[in-house]
Amino acid sequence: MKDSYDVVVVGAGPAGSIAARTAAQKGLDVLLIEKRQEIGDPVRCGEGVKKMSIRRHIEPDYRWICADVKGSRIFSPNGTKVEMSESISGGEVGYVLERKVFDRALAYEAAMAGAEINVKTRATGLVIEDGFVRGVNLMHLGDEYKIRSKIVIGADGVESKVGRWAGIDTSIHLSDIETCAQFLVIGENIDQDYCHFYLGNKIAPAGYIWVFPKGKNQANVGIGILGSKSGKYRAVTLLSDFLKEHMPDAKIIEMVVGGVPVKGTIEKTIANGLMLVGDAARQSDPITGGGIINSMDAGKIAGEVAAKAISAGDVSINALNDYEKRWRATIGREIDNSLMVKNTFVKFTDEDLNSLAYSLKDVNFTSMSLMDLLYALFKANKKLLWDLRYLFKDVVKNEIDFSYRS
C-alpha cells in the first residue's frame, strides 16, 4: 500500500469493483479496499439478475452462474398465480448467481485493469481538509494508515459510514429498509426454471418471500419484510415458518441475513472529492430489492466521472455533479418509479393482493418486465392503483405497445 493514490474505493462489492476497474482502465492509480478477509463472503443477496443487464458489464461465465431461469411466478396470499415467462434467442432471461464467485470475478477484473486491492482493510474515517475529502484513514491487521487520494468512492454497502463522515445523511428509517433472511436449501422438486415469489402480510409483511433456483436441487429461499413491521416477528422466524409449511423436507446448508434499502433516491450522493455508489448510495430498487445491476451501472459512471474530474484537475462537487446527473437520469428514474409502486403496495391487505392477482389470472405474460405487469394490473384495477397513474402517463401518451397478450 502506498501513501497516496488518485482514487481510493472503499468496499469490493459489485459497485466498488466496477468503479475501481473503470477508473483503472482510464489510467488512474486506484486502491480498492475490502474490510472483510474474503471478497464476496458472506453473501447478503438473493442473487437474481437479468441476463441482458449483466452483459453490459461482464461476459457471462458459468463459474458464477448457478441457474438460467425462463420466468417468474408470483403467488398471492390465497395462492392465485401470475406467471411471466419470456424466451430470448440464445437462452433464458435471468441468472441466479453465485455471488461469492461473481464478486471475486469482478475484483479480478479490477486487479487486471491495474487497481491495487487490499483485503481485511477497513476505512475508519476520512481525511478532510478545506472542505474536501482528501483521503481515508484505514486499519489493516490492527495497524492504522493514512492514505491520501484525489477522490474517494464510497461503496461500503448498507452499513455505509463514508457518506456520513462527509456530512451526507444516509441513515435509513425503519420504513425504508427491508430486513431479510435467506436459506440456501437442498430439496427435491425445486423448479429450476422459474423464480417464485410469495406475497402476503402474514407470511412476509410489506415484503415477499422468494425461491430462486440455484441448480442441482438447490434454491435460495429468502424473505424481506419492511423494517417497520419487524420486531414482534423476525425475518428469520417467518422464513422458518414458510419452509416448514412449503418445503418441510428441505435441508438448510447456509443461512445469511441482510438489510436492503428501499428508500428511493437520496438527496445527495457526492461531496467535494467524494462519490457514493451502490447500497451506500441507497441505489437498490425499492420494489424488487435488486441492487446488483444498479450498483454496477453507478460504479461505472463514478469511475468515468472520477477520470474526467482528475484529468481536469477539478474534483469539487461541481465537477462530480456529472455523476449525480447521470445516475439520476437512468437508474434514479427507475428507483423513483419503483418507490411509487412500493408506497402503494405496502398499504395493500391480503384481500387486495388476492384481487389484483385474480384480475391477471388469464393473462399470459410473455414479458418479464415489471412495468408491463404493473400496467396490466393498472388497467384492470384503476381504482385500487389510482396512485400509480403518473407512472403510466408517458406510456398512454406514447401508446407504447406492451408485449403481453390477454
Partner 1 sequence: MVVIHINRYKCGYCGACVGVCPSGALELIETWIEVDKNCTGCGICAKVCPVGAIEVKK
Q: Contact residues for partner 1 (CB under 8 A)?
A: 35-37, 42, 44, 120, 122, 157-161, 164, 170-174, 177, 179-181, 227-228, 230-231, 234-237, 255-259, 261
CB of residue 256 to partner 1, shortest distance in Å? 7
> Could you tell me the CA-to-CA distances from 221 to 252, 254, 259, 292, 377 in Å, in that order?
10, 10, 16, 18, 26
Give 46 or 71: the residue with its C-beta nearer to partner 1: 46
Give 135 or 259: the residue with its C-beta nearer to partner 1: 259
**Torsions phi, psi of 192, nearest 5?**
-90, 0
Give 68 or 279: the residue with its C-beta nearer to partner 1: 279
CB of residue 47 to partner 1, shortest distance in Å? 15
Give 9 or 385: the residue with its C-beta nearer to partner 1: 9
Give 139 or 395: the residue with its C-beta nearer to partner 1: 139
CB of residue 136 to partner 1, shortest distance in Å? 15
Q: Which three cell numbers stand for residue 180?
A: 431479510
Distance CA 100, CA 121 (A): 18
CB of residue 257 to partner 1, shortest distance in Å? 4
Strands 116-118 and 194-198: unpaired
CB of residue 170 to partner 1, shortest distance in Å? 8
CB of residue 45 to partner 1, shortest distance in Å? 11
Give 156 or 352: the residue with its C-beta nearer to partner 1: 156
User: ω into residue 42 within 30 of 0, thus cis?
Assistant: yes
Q: Which three cell numbers stand for residue 70?
A: 425462463
Give 150 or 229: the residue with its C-beta nearer to partner 1: 229
CB of residue 295 to partner 1, shortest distance in Å? 15
Dihedral over Cα of 183, 186, 188, 194: its sign: positive
Q: Is 114 exposed, middle or buried (0-12, 13-18, 19+ CB in 10 A)?
A: middle
- DSSP labels for 302-346? HHHHHHHHHHHT--SHHHHHHHHHHHIIIIIHHHHHHHHHHHHHT
Cα angle vertex 56, ends 55, 60, to 5°?
20
